[in-house]
Amino acid sequence: MSREEEHDQSTGFDQKTSRNVGPNTGRRRGPMRHGGPVMSGEKAADFKGSMSKLLKFMGRFKIAIAVVFVFAIASTVFNIVGPKVLSTATTELFNGISAKIAGTGGIDFHAVGAILLTTLALYGFSSLCMLIQGLLMTHVTQRTCYLLRQRISQKMDRLPMGYFERTSTGDILSRITNDVDTLGMTLNQGLTQLITSITTIIGVLVMMISINLPMTAIALLVIPLSAVLVKVVVSRSQKYFRMQQNRLGAINGQVEETFSGQAVVRAFGKEHEALEQFKKTNNDLYESAWKSQFLSGLMMPVMNFISNLGYVAVAVAGALFAINGRITVGDIQAFIQYIKNFTQPITQLAQVSNVLQQMAAAAERVFEFLDAEEESEETAKVTTKDVHGNVEFDHVRFGYDPDQPIIKDFSAVVSEGQTIALVGPTGAGKTTMVKLLMRFYDVDSGAIRIGGYDVRDFDRNDLRSLFAMVLQDTWLFKGSVRENIRYGRLDASDEEVEAAAKAAFADTFIRTLPDGYDTEISEDASNISQGQRQLLTIARAVLANRKMLILDEATSSVDTRTEERIQMAMDNLMKGRTSFVIAHRLSTIRNADLILVLHEGDIVEQGTHSELLARGGAYADLYNSQFAR
């Protein structure tokens, strides 16, 4: 097992179950629910910081990268020596022809053949080294991308709920796909090109100096012009590469949310508005993309023009030196090859600078996500293994914005095994109380206790293992019906899955499906009805068999007859368990042990169904309004 695999296992990533918990699988949300990412393209990326983080992340591959360096350098060196060796063959041919014309000798074909075989061997070794370094670099880059995606997947489980509520799903997906892919491609291309270009420049420079120093000085005149050009282009292009990556994330978020909410868009006749918004985002992406690509593409023709100027100057100087007998014909041929080999890596370095800027922009977005603030996790003081007892809300105060509290002063005591209903108008804080109970957020002041222990004393995952949830917004992933139910307890047998379906009154409709429990649910679960989706999530909760239940409008999507049957199953399921029920259809909570009526974050009434009706207060008004005709 490699070191990176050991690390990945230590962070708790379970590859066996990853298909069931993949990001956004089967998730359904309304259109335009969250905005796109902040457009920070006007500010240049933190190139040094991003590259430093990337190099640190790739530290586990330092041996492989070192070998890549060795083979890349070896390949370049063999390639560089080739023209010098080949030049001796040219000189030998020239001298032989001259001798034959003068009648003093001829061409030594044996010597020429030996030189050509040596040159062929050099180029053969160069190609072999290049092949090996290419294979190693491909492994390093693809493994890096694999690990980055895995880290992002793990990171999602450690981020607070607030992050996902303020960040576009499409932008997060773009970081996993587009940014990581960009990083992989540019890393593979850029790193090896950087090594070979630098090695080529140094090696060729040494060989040119060994042939003729004045001609080398002429060739070096192109470097200042090239450096100025690179600096100008890089300084202008980076912000556009950054904008391109950000706006790609924005357009992904818009497409994902609009398409997933296509039914709502059409129902409200907002196709034109959605298209106009897409056109605007697409135009923003186009503007940043063409500018970045134009600046990147501009460098090659200009660099070729500069390098050709140097090439012409060297050719003229070489001819003059040859006439004066200061250089051989073979050396001129070798030098001309070297001057082309010298300007080419300079041009490549200019291209690599753009590639590195792309890589830095992608790496910055990836590491921004990986460095995002995680849920604070103190050392657990207690475990839930033997937790029993009451649930107590003690003067709880909370607001998503601390200056605008939603829950102002909430206090209640829930006895073990009771069914507690939370009712009240929209925005009263019902769902927020559930989020606080499960530590999706922590209270601003006061405390929530389970069995006498503050929920902040538990490990979050351990705390949430106490609860099974059934929400109004059903969540199913692409897979079989059996797999979706088994998500409640992955080690459950087929018999236990079917028993849970029967308890939730889902078994009957499941057996009418084409393949029964093995029927594949489509990605958006469009091949079953909303009510059937809800039955499957209820069966999942039954199978989970947790100590506490949270039911958020769990029966709102089913017909009245099915609702009554589910309510009977829920009554049996909730026996001996502490249950929190959020309901707008008050007929479903008549048997609750305690009903808490919330208004603007405070309890305005509490009691049983009959007690609250007899009191004739807020609950009675809500209840009677539902049955008024």
What is the DSSP code string of 516-543?
GGGPEEPTT-TTS-HHHHHHHHHHHHHH
Amino acid 496: pLDDT: 93
Amino acid 627: pLDDT: 62
Cα 431–Cα 432–Cα 433 angle in degrees, nearest 5: 90
Selecting from 3.30.1330.20, 2.40.50.140, 3.30.70.580, 3.40.50.300, what CATH number does the domain 391-627 have?
Answer: 3.40.50.300
* 3-state secondary structure labels for all residues of 161-182: HHHHHHCCHHHHHHHHHHHHHH
Say how far apart CA 370 and CA 187 lie, in whole Å: 19
How would you classify the pairing of strands 419-423 and 578-582?
parallel
Span 366-381, pLDDT tens digits: 898 888 888 776 677 7
Say how far apart CA 429 and CA 399 lie, in whole Å: 10
Amino acid 20: pLDDT: 36
What CATH class does 47-370 carry? mainly alpha
Amino acid 128: pLDDT: 92
Query: Are the C-beta atoms of residues 150 and 8 closer than 8 Å to each other?
Result: yes
Amino acid 12: pLDDT: 35
Task: Tell whether pTM > 0.75.
Answer: no
Tokens of 444: 């601003």
Which residue stretches of the chain have pLDDT < 50? 1-44, 629
Amino acid 495: pLDDT: 92
Amino acid 554: pLDDT: 66
Amino acid 8: pLDDT: 43
Query: Are the C-beta atoms of residues 361 and 187 closer than 8 Å to each other?
Result: no
Say how far apart CA 333 and CA 435 lie, in whole Å: 77
Cite the DSSP H helix spans in 159-270: 161-166, 169-174, 180-211, 213-219, 222-260, 262-267
How would you classify the pairing of strands 548-552 and 578-582?
parallel
Query: What is the end-to-end Cα distance of the chain in Å, rounded?
Result: 70
Could you tell me which of 424, 421, 371, 411 has the C-alpha nearest to residue 589?
A: 421
DSSP code for 375: P
Say how far apart CA 380 and CA 392 lie, in whole Å: 19
- Strand stretches in 378-535, DSSP E: 391-398, 407-414, 419-423, 445-450, 453-454, 467-470, 479-480, 520-521
Q: Which residue has the tokens 């250089």?
A: 327
CB atoms within 10 A of CB 157: 14
Query: Are the C-beta atoms of residues 481 and 521 closer than 8 Å to each other?
Result: yes
Query: Are the C-beta atoms of residues 260 and 53 closer than 8 Å to each other?
Result: no
- Domains in the chain: boundaries: 47-370, 391-627
